[in-house]
Structures are given as structure tokens and as C-alpha cells.
Amino acid sequence: MDQTTESKNKERVLEAFDTLFNKRDYKAAEKCWSPNYIQRSAHIAPSGEGLFDLVKRSFPTLEYDAGLVGYVAGT
């Protein structure tokens, strides 16, 4: 059975977050984020580097747990 595009995208997002936040494999995570990524949180520098720096500075016990991954129409 073929996976839907939505299902494949969810899988990619979960893998990207697990790679960055849980495994902290920054080299592998770089492949998941576009070099043009814009981080829009006020407390994080506005780039992929800002997001990665946030994770690097966080507590080693911090982990990401995906409670709900879904599709928001029009985004």
C-alpha cells in the first residue's frame, strides 16, 4: 500500500525533529532544514542556525515528544 503525501510528510517532520531535538545529530539535521529556513520565534535567532543554537544551549535532558502531528489547511 502506498503512503499518501501527507503521511510521508508527517514521517519526515517527525524524523527531522527526532534527529535534532532527541538525537542531537546536528550534521544529519542540517539535511532536514532548508538553508533558507526562517525561524519566527521572538526568542530565537531568525535562521536555522538560531534553532540549532537553541537546542545546543538547552538542557541535555530536553526531548521532543510528538503528541499530535496534523495538517492545517491553507498553510
pTM as predicted: 0.77
Q: Is the pLDDT of residue 41 over 60?
A: yes
3-class SS of residue 25 = coil
Q: What is the mean pLDDT of residues 41-55?
A: 89
pLDDT of residue 46: 86
Q: Of residues 2 and 28, which shows the higher confidence score?
A: 28
pLDDT band (50, 70, 90) for residue 15: very high
C-beta separation of 32 from 16 below 8 A = yes
Other C-beta atoms lying within 10 Å of the C-beta of residue 55: 16
Where do the domains of the chain lie? 5-57
Mean pLDDT of the residues in the chain = 85
CA 13 to chain centre: 6
Phi first, then psi: what are they for 24, rounded to 5°?
55, 45
CA distance linking residue 54 with residue 75, whole number of Å: 25
Of the candidates 42, 63, 66, 45, the one whose C-alpha atom is nearest the C-alpha of residue 54 is 45
